Structure 1
């Protein structure tokens, strides 16, 4: 049986935001435009600009502001500007010709300075929802995305947690991710009947807080 697909990041984010248990783990997300980007940079200092429809890290741009300098990083290229307007004009030329959103930037825990996040995959079986995998994804050197299709390295989930957050209980964090996954899966299934598999992308900051970076209905 075919599993229902949902391409829009915005639709999935809006759905989870309606439930406090999930909303507490979602970075602030707003529509992409010049005023919103300026305000998000003032508030958070660093954000991610992402296509509303897209996969594999395609089109993701990291934007930051510090000390009056505005920067964005796309793929391996970083550009710096002394004014917001110049940076924004350049950003418009680089981004894909599609609708984007702005997501609060999370400073992910790292291994040797390279970001790590986690993909937790669940599938619907005759016995209900079943965990298929929980793996770490280690960003390729010089990139701000962890996707395996962009050169990221797959790590055992326990190994990734142990080396990126040695001061945090690996057992407890794995349990928290599993619990959050089940909560969000129930929400998604109640809102979108017909979903048969889900892939949750989680980021952990240096305090160990779990953030929902993305939800995929066609996880690779």
Structure 2
């Protein structure tokens, strides 16, 4: 049976050990008041995510600085004039779950809807092989792209052509495959026994590839 890892912290920390992967990972810190305020001051927008969990559940987009703060959870956006007010509200929303803060990446979009990519690999007797590369287009009004949350699946080729028409889609697909193989070997060396992996990639408007998450039980 393929080894499974639930903690986003554990998987992120493993990849951060290797510069070839680390340059593609958004800054990630533990969720607390000081870290959230500092990252908002630096990036303007961040995502907070449960350390354990998937399917886009519990993901919250937070933005703001000075006297204007807001967060979006599912389709609900709340605004605040003070950081402390917003932070107290976030504490209530997240309840007792452990959260992390991830640098917000302004993803390329299609008609204003964010899109990201899932690349899945599995280990066979012949070694690691690619199973799929698809784009996931967020449902209108949502900040997550997960299909379980109403996202739309597109082929990787079509998703790149529609979201980044000024960039070579063929080159980006090749780049994602190369990064996937590199990170797969890292994950296998750090966690012997993994047999399937799903890499969630986001591309910003310049075409840079960001590793948003790694799944050991990809759907």
Structure 1 length normalisation: TM-score? Answer: 0.98
Partner of residue 190, structure 2:
191
1:43 CA drift (Å): 0.4
For residues 31-70 of structure 1, what are the structure 2 equivalents within 5 Å? 31-66=30-65, 68-70=67-69
Contact 2:41 2:65 in 1 (8 A): no
Contact 2:8 2:52 in 1 (8 A): yes
Name whichever of 18-27 and 91-100 sits farther off. 91-100
Contact 1:48 1:60 in 2 (8 A): yes
Partner of residue 24, structure 1:
23
Partner of residue 130, structure 1:
129
For 1:196 and 1:176, the matched residues in 2 are separated by 22
Partner of residue 82, structure 1:
81
1:67 CA drift (Å): 5.6
For residues 140-159 of structure 1, what are the structure 2 equivalents within 5 Å? 140-159=139-158
Contact 1:71 1:78 in 2 (8 A): yes
Contact 1:47 1:103 in 2 (8 A): yes
1:94 CA drift (Å): 1.1
For 2:56 and 2:81, the matched residues in 1 are separated by 27
* Structure 1 position 200 matched with structure 2 position 199: yes
Give the 3-state SS of the residue equivalent to 1:133 in structure 2.
strand
For 2:12 and 2:46, the matched residues in 1 are separated by 16
Q: Which runs of 5+ in 1 are unaligned?
A: none
Deviations 1:109-149 (A, max 9, x none): 00000000000000000000000000000000000000000
Q: Which runs of 5+ in 2 are unaligned?
A: none
1:177 CA drift (Å): 0.1
With over 3 angstroms needed to count, the CA separation of the structure-2 counterparts of 1:73 and 1:123, relative to structure 1, is same
1:97 CA drift (Å): 2.2
1:68 CA drift (Å): 2.4
Give the 3-state SS of the residue equivalent to 1:201 in structure 2.
strand
Structure 2 length normalisation: TM-score? Answer: 0.99
Give the 3-state SS of the residue equivalent to 1:6 in structure 2.
coil
For 1:66 and 1:31, the matched residues in 2 are separated by 19
For 1:17 and 1:55, the matched residues in 2 are separated by 21
Contact 1:49 1:103 in 2 (8 A): yes
For 1:96 and 1:206, the matched residues in 2 are separated by 34
For 2:58 and 2:95, the matched residues in 1 are separated by 6
Contact 2:29 2:35 in 1 (8 A): yes
